[in-house]
C-alpha cells in the first residue's frame, strides 16, 4: 500500500467464513474471484498466488486473461498432489481438522521451539537444527504467529484435488519465485510453470525453507516482486 497499490486479500473457498461450495475446484475458485472483483467494481488486478493457492491463481490467469495484469507465484503449487500426501492430509485435516489444529496451537503456545522443529521437517530438505540455528528472533516469532493463526477448515480438502492443465494458455507476464530447499512444494512446481508459460520469469530464492518471506533472502523477494509489479 505504501508503494501505491490497493490490496484485496480474499479468503479462498473453505477457509475462514467463505463457504467451501463457492469453489471446490481451481476453476470454480477462479470464477469466484472474478465475481468478487465484479462486486468491488475492479476491472483487472495483479494476482499473487502463494503456496496452495497456486492452482487458483493459475486458473484465474487462464480463464480471465482480461482481468489479470500480472501473475506472481510464490512457493506455489502447480503440479498434482501425490497420493501419499493426499492420504496424510485427509487423516490430519479431514474429520480431525479441528482437533489437529487445537493440538498444534496448544503445543505452539507452551513449546514453540518443539512445534517449530516439527513443522520444519515438512518445510525443508535441509537439517532442521541447522535451519533453526540460522533463524533470528523475528523469524521464529513469524513462524509462531503463523501457526497460531492458521486453520485449514474445509479449504485444504479442496486444495489437494486442484488441477490446472494447459498452462501454455497463460499469456500475462508471470513471475515465479521458489526455494530449491522447499520440501512442501518442490522446485518441480516452479519448473513446470517455467517450462509451459512462455512469459515466465523464474527466480530461485536462496531460502532454507518453504517460507521465502523470512530470513536473509526475504528482502530480495520483496524487491523482486515490487520491481516486477511496477515494471
- Residue range 3-38, pLDDT digits in tens: 999 999 999 999 999 999 999 999 999 999 999 999
Q: CA angle, corner 132, sides to 212 and 224, nearest 5?
A: 15
**pTM higher than the cut 0.85:** yes
Kindly report the number of other CB atoms within 10 A of residue 174's CB atom: 25
200 and 174 Cβ atoms separated by less than 8 Å: yes
Q: Regarding the domain delimited by 20-81+163-230, which CATH topology (the fold level of the hierarchy) does it fall under? A: Rossmann fold (3.40.50)
Q: How far apart are CA 148 and CA 48, in angstroms?
A: 23
Look at residues 136, 188, 165 and name the one whose alpha carbon lies nearest to residue 59. 165
- Please report the pLDDT score of residue 131 as a whole number: 97
pLDDT band at 226 (very low <50, low <70, confident <90, very high): very high
Enter the C-alpha cell of residue 108. Answer: 505452539
Task: Average the pLDDT over 37-54 and give the result.
Answer: 97
Question: pLDDT (tens digit, 9 = 90+) per residue, 159-208?
Answer: 999 999 999 999 999 999 999 999 999 999 999 999 999 999 999 999 99
Cα–Cα separations (whole angstroms), residue 153 to 50, 89, 219 = 17, 12, 31
Question: pLDDT (tens digit, 9 = 90+) per residue, 111-128?
Answer: 999 999 999 999 999 999
Task: Average the pLDDT over 62-91 and give the result.
Answer: 96
Task: Find cell 497460531 and name the residue.
Answer: 148
Enumerate the CATH 3.40.50.1820 domain ranges in the chain, comma separated.
Answer: 20-81+163-230
- Please report the pLDDT score of residue 155 as a whole number: 95
- Please report the pLDDT score of residue 30 as a whole number: 98
Amino acid at each position: 500500500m505504501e508503494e501505491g497499490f490497493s490490496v484485496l486479500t480474499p479468503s479462498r473457498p473453505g477457509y475462514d467464513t467463505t463457504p467451501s461450495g463457492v469453489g471446490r475446484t481451481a476453476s470454480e475458485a477462479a470464477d469466484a474471484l472474478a465475481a468478487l472483483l465484479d462486486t468491488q467494481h475492479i476491472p483487472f488486478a495483479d494476482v499473487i498466488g502463494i503456496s496452495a493457492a497456486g492452482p487458483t491463481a493459475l486458473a484465474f490467469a487462464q480463464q480471465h486473461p482480461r482481468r489479470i495484469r500480472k501473475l506472481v507465484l510464490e512457493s506455489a503449487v502447480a503440479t498434482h498432489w501425490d497420493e501419499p500426501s493426499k492420504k496424510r492430509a485427509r487423516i490430519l485435516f479431514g474429520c480431525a481438522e479441528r482437533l489437529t489444529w487445537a493440538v498444534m496451537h496448544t503445543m505452539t503456545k507452551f513449546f514453540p521451539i518443539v512445534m517449530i522443529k516439527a513443522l520444519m521437517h515438512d518445510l525443508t530438505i535441509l537439517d532442521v537444527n541447522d535451519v533453526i540455528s540460522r533463524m533470528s528472533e523475528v523469524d521464529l516469532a513469524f513462524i509462531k504467529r503463523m501457526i497460531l493463526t492458521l486453520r485449514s477448515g474445509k479449504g485444504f480438502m479442496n486444495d489437494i484435488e486442484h488441477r490446472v492443465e494447459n498452462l501454455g494458455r497463460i499469456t500475462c507476464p508471470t513471475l515465479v519465485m521458489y526455494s530449491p530447499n522447499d520440501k512442501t512444494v518442490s522446485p518441480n512446481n516452479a519448473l513446470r510453470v517455467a517450462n509451459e508459460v512462455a512469459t515466465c520469469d523464474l527466480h530461485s530464492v536462496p531460502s532454507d525453507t518453504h517460507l521465502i518471506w523470512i530470513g536473509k533472502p526475504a528482502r530480495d523477494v520483496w524487491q523482486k516482486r515490487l520491481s516486477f509489479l511496477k515494471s
